[in-house]
């Protein structure tokens, strides 16, 4: 009897252990819930590029009257592209323009001659904008068509006094020129080699005045920026070469000079003036410069 009871107890023990093991295995094999996927990193916010600042302000220029046509055209083109910029040009003559930029009365001085050593030493920098021919002009009634540099020099120093001496009619030669300090006068006198020797009848303060005076006097001779010459006067060939954009560009026309921008060496231009300076000295301005009748420096 005892053996039967012992056997029954052993069976109960075995069955209990089996049930325990099954419960443990089930727990072990039950899949744990999957880990939550890592949060997707939000894309970095894209920065919208700032719109370029709209250019505004003023650009003031002062100086050479000979540069009126080209600087006016450049100023107009610049303002068309920059509606909030005001461009001004004061036609006072090269010497006055150089003085104005030295004294801070304008942003850019305009000179139709190279700067003198003393002007550079005083703190100015020159940048050649373009090249212009200086045309020798006479009244349309004058029959003279061609003069050599030597003849022009002799006329302006008073050695030749009558048009008949150079193939014209018997009439007194009336010498018209620009005032002292004019870039046109300086360029003309240096090239023709008559500096401080000219016997002027009249010394006028602008290119326009010279053209008007020559147009009204059959005996007059004068000189003016090629870009400014009108059909009210006649240009004379120099050494057989007609003054033109082409002959200035190829160097065959003898009487030519640079148009210069003068700025302060150690002073920064305002944003509008700097943008104007960068534009006019870049190839982007060449079409405007050429249309004004002068030859771009670049």
Per the prediction, the chain carries an average pLDDT of 87
The pLDDT > 90 percentage for the chain reads: 79
Q: Where are the domains of the chain?
A: 57-131+259-296, 133-256
What is the CB-side half-sphere exposure of residue 154 using CA atoms within 13 A? 12
Predicted confidence (pLDDT) per residue in 102-126, tens digit = 999 999 999 999 999 999 999 999 9
Specify the higher pLDDT residue, 50 or 103.
103
Residue 228 pLDDT more than 60? yes
Specify the higher pLDDT residue, 38 or 139.
139
Predicted confidence (pLDDT) per residue in 272-295, tens digit = 999 999 999 999 999 999 999 899
* pLDDT for 255: 97
Closest CA to 98 of 82, 81, 121: 121
Complete DSSP assignment for 22-53: HHHHHHHHSPPPPPPPPPPPPPPPPPPPPPPP
**Who's near 186: CB < 8 A, 6+ residues apart?**
94, 112, 113, 195
Euclidean distance between CA atoms 143 and 180, whole angstroms: 30
Predicted confidence (pLDDT) per residue in 161-194, tens digit = 999 999 999 999 999 999 998 999 999 999 999 9
From the options 3.40.190.10, 3.20.20.140, 3.40.1350.10, 3.40.640.10, give the CATH code of 57-131+259-296: 3.40.190.10
From the options 3.40.1410.10, 3.40.50.720, 3.40.50.970, 3.40.190.10, give the CATH code of 133-256: 3.40.190.10
* pLDDT for 50: 53
Beta-strand runs (E) in the chain? 57-63, 85-91, 108-111, 124-138, 146-147, 174-178, 202-204, 220-225, 234-235, 237-238, 256-264, 295-296
* pLDDT for 245: 87
Token pair listed for 208: 């326009």
Euclidean distance between CA atoms 48 and 238, whole angstroms: 62
Q: Residue 249 — pLDDT band, cuts 50, 70, 90?
A: confident
User: Other C-beta atoms within 10 Å of 99: how many?
Assistant: 19
* pLDDT for 52: 55
Specify the higher pLDDT residue, 54 or 170.
170
Predicted confidence (pLDDT) per residue in 192-212, tens digit = 999 999 999 999 999 999 999
Instruction: Determine contact, residues 60/107, Cβ cutoff 8 Å.
Output: yes
Q: Residue 44 — pLDDT band, cuts 50, 70, 90?
A: low
* pLDDT for 243: 96
* pLDDT for 46: 52
**Who's near 112: CB < 8 A, 6+ residues apart?**
64, 66, 67, 94, 132, 182, 183, 184, 186, 187, 225, 257, 258, 259, 260
Euclidean distance between CA atoms 253 and 246, whole angstroms: 9
Question: Could you check whether 57-131+259-296 and 133-256 share the same CATH topology?
Answer: yes
Euclidean distance between CA atoms 248 and 290, whole angstroms: 12
Residue 81 pLDDT more than 80? yes
């Amino acid at each position: 009897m005892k053996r039967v009871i012992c056997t029954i107890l052993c069976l109960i023990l075995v069955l209990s252990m089996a049930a325990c093991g099954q419960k443990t295995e089930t727990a072990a094999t039950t899949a744990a819930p999957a880990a939550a996927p890592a949060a997707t990193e939000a894309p970095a916010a894209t920065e919208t590029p700032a719109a370029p600042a709209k250019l505004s302000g003023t650009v003031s220029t002062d100086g050479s009257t000979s540069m009126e046509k080209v600087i006016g055209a450049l100023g107009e083109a610049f303002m068309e592209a920059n509606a909030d910029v005001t461009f001004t040009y004061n036609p006072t003559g090269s010497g006055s323009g150089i003085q104005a930029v030295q004294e801070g009365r304008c942003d850019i001085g305009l000179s139709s001659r190279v700067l003198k050593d003393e002007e550079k030493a005083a703190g100015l920098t020159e940048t050649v904008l373009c090249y212009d021919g200086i045309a020798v002009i006479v009244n349309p009634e004058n029959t003279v068509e061609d003069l050599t540099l030597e003849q022009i020099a002799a006329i302006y120093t008073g050695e030749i006094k009558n048009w008949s001496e150079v193939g014209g009619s018997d009439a007194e030669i009336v010498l018209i020129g620009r005032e002292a300090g004019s870039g046109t006068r300086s360029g003309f006198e240096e090239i023709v080699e008559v500096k401080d020797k000219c016997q002027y009848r009249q010394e006028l303060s602008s290119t326009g005045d010279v053209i008007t005076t020559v147009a009204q006097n059959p005996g007059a001779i004068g000189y003016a920026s090629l870009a400014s010459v009108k059909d009210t006067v006649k240009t004379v060939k120099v050494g057989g070469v007609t003054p033109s954009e082409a002959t200035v560009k190829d160097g065959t026309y003898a009487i030519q000079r640079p148009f210069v921008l003068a700025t302060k060496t150690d002073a920064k231009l305002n944003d509008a003036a700097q943008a104007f300076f960068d534009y006019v000295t870049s190839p982007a301005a060449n079409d405007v410069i050429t249309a004004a009748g002068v030859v771009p420096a670049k």
